[in-house]
Structure 1
Amino acid sequence: MEQAEANQIRFREIDQDGNPVDPAVARPQDQPRGGLDRPGRRSANPFIIILWVLAAILLTGGIWAFLEASETLGSGSNPMPLYFVLMNIAPWAVLSGALTVLALLFWHAAQWQQRRNQ
Structure 2
Amino acid sequence: MSMKIRLARGGSKKRPHYSIVATDSRNPRDGRFLEKLGTYNPLLAKDSEERVKMNMERVQYWLGQGAQPTDRIARMLEAAGVLAKKTRSNPKSAVPGKRMTELAAKKAARSEAPAAE
Relative to the length of structure 2, the TM-score reads 0.27
Q: Which has the higher contact order (CA 8 A, sep 6+)?
A: 1
Hey, which of these two has a bigger chunk of helix by percent?
A: 1
Hey, which of these two has a bigger chunk of strand by percent?
A: 2
Q: Which structure is larger by alpha-carbon Rg, 1 or 2?
A: 1
Relative to the length of structure 1, the TM-score reads 0.26
